């Protein structure tokens, strides 16, 4: 089979499929990742002969996509803020939206030295690694994650990027006592924040991602309540707590933060105008 024939064959498979969940553009990504074929090759090298193994790799990937397995899991890695991160079943795929909170912390702390930050519910380590890449090199960053599988991805990603981040396999709800009071300049978290009842309604692709990464309890705000309450004393006076939040969660999370004594609450929107990050300062 030639490259051009394979591309057209894949387009036909997608067209004929009832799953209707895969974009033609994903074929190009799959061809690039598995065969190193660039879009221009589809015109310039369309007559190139492919061997059976090459054809099979691409067809396997397409068939997994038709079963709603996320493209990122099939590829095995995904890029977040210029960092290539290993992902797979058992760890949340880093989302573009998460760069909103990371950029906010970078702009607040970029000129400061010797800061201590903890990323709670760290998953792949995307937040912690993007902070390490962009903040002063003497910053000390901890990354805390409970899930066994996600923790393995976290550690591999830290290794791949020669990171000095300190990974901790801990439960955010019980293991806060391990740190001294007034220890951190910044606590950041993108915790699970989907309401229980909304979980079954999620896109089929998202259902392949770990429930532990998504389930935010009955009202979606379980982790915000607990992190604000349990980790408050670990933040220095004047330190910042920063969360990623879901659509429509801003006022509820703001109320939780105010109740716990945080002040100067601000937010940042994502490119769709959704309030995606919320920040508060611990009073002196
Ligand atoms: C929404 S994901 C965020 C992952 C990553 N920070 C990101 O932005 O892509 C939430 C993460 O919290 C972890 N998690 C859930 N419950 C936890 C707990 N009690 N303690 C620590 N981590 C927890 C999940 O395993 C998951 O990796």
User: What pLDDT was estimated at residue 222?
Assistant: 98
User: What pLDDT was estimated at residue 17?
Assistant: 87
For ligand 1, which residues put their CB under 6 angstroms from it?
Answer: 92, 94, 98, 121-124, 126-127, 144-147, 150, 171-173, 190-192, 210, 212-213
Asked whether 29 and 23 are in contact (CB, 8 A), the reply is: no
Least confident residue range of 16-25, 49-58, 109-118, 220-229: 16-25
Ligand 1 pocket: which of 77, 79, 86, 92 to mutate (most atoms <8 Å of CB)?
Answer: 92
Measured in angstroms, how far is the CA atom of residue 122 from the centroid of ligand 1? Answer: 5
Asked whether 91 and 124 are in contact (CB, 8 A), the reply is: yes
Q: Which two three-digit tokens encode residue 251?
A: 């006022």
Identify the residue whose C-alpha is closest to ligand 1 atom 27: 123
pLDDT above 90 as % of the chain: 96
Asked whether 239 and 186 are in contact (CB, 8 A), the reply is: yes
Give mean pLDDT, residues 65-73.
95
Identify the residue whose C-alpha is closest to ligand 1 atom 8: 190
Measured in angstroms, how far is the CA atom of residue 213 from the centroid of ligand 1? Answer: 5
CATH superfamily of 90-282: Vaccinia Virus protein VP39 (3.40.50.150)
Give mean pLDDT, residues 195-211.
96
Q: Which two three-digit tokens encode residue 142?
A: 């901890």
Asked whether 115 and 155 are in contact (CB, 8 A), the reply is: no
At 108-126, the pLDDT tens digits run 999 999 999 999 999 999 9
Give mean pLDDT, residues 188-209.
96
User: What pLDDT was estimated at residue 26?
Assistant: 92
Q: How far separated are the first and last CA of the chain, in Å rounded?
A: 69
User: What pLDDT was estimated at residue 23?
Assistant: 86
Per-residue pLDDT for 134 more than 90? yes
Measured in angstroms, how far is the CA atom of residue 123 from the centroid of ligand 1? Answer: 5
What would you measure as the largest C-alpha separation in the chain, in angstroms? 69
Binned at pLDDT 50, 70 and 90, residue 97 comes out as: very high
Measured in angstroms, how far is the CA atom of residue 198 from the centroid of ligand 1? Answer: 18
Contact residues for 193 (Cβ-Cβ < 8 A; gap 6+): 214, 216, 220, 221, 223, 224, 244, 245, 246, 249
For residue 36, the tally of other CB atoms under 10 A from its CB is: 8
Measured in angstroms, how far is the CA atom of residue 212 from the centroid of ligand 1? Answer: 7
Establish how many alpha carbons lie within 13 A of residue 7's alpha carbon, considering only the half-sphere containing its beta carbon. Answer: 23
At 14-48, the pLDDT tens digits run 988 877 778 889 999 999 999 999 999 999 999 99
Q: What average pLDDT is seen over the chain?
A: 96
């Amino acid at each position: 089979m030639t490259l051009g024939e394979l591309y057209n064959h894949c387009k036909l498979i997608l067209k004929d499929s009832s799953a209707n969940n895969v974009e033609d553009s994903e074929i190009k990504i799959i061809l690039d990742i598995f065969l190193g074929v660039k879009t221009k090759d589809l015109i310039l090298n369309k007559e190139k002969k492919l061997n059976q193994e090459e054809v099979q790799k691409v067809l396997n990937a397409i068939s997994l996509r038709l079963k709603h397995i996320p493209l990122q899991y099939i590829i095995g890695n995904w890029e977040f803020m210029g960092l290539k991160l290993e992902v797979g079943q058992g760890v949340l795929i880093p989302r573009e939206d998460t760069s909103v909170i990371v950029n906010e912390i970078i702009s607040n702390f970029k000129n400061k030295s010797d800061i201590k930050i903890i990323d709670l519910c760290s998953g792949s380590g995307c937040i912690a690694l993007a902070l390490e890449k962009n903040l002063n090199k003497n910053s000390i960053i901890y990354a805390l994650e409970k899930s066994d599988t996600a923790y393995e991805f976290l550690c591999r990603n830290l290794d791949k990027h020669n990171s000095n981040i300190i990974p901790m396999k801990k439960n955010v709800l019980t293991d806060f006592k391990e740190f001294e009071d007034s220890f951190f300049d910044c606590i950041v978290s993108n915790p699970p924040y989907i309401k229980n009842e909304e979980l079954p309604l999620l896109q089929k692709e998202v259902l392949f991602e770990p429930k532990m990464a998504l389930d935010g309890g009955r009202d979606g705000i379980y982790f915000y309540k607990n992190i604000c309450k349990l980790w408050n004393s670990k933040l220095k006076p004047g330190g910042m707590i920063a969360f990623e939040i879901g659509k429509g969660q801003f006022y509820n999370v703001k109320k939780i933060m105010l109740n716990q004594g945080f002040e100067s609450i601000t937010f940042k929107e994502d490119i769709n105008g959704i309030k995606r990050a919320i920040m508060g300062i611990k009073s002196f």
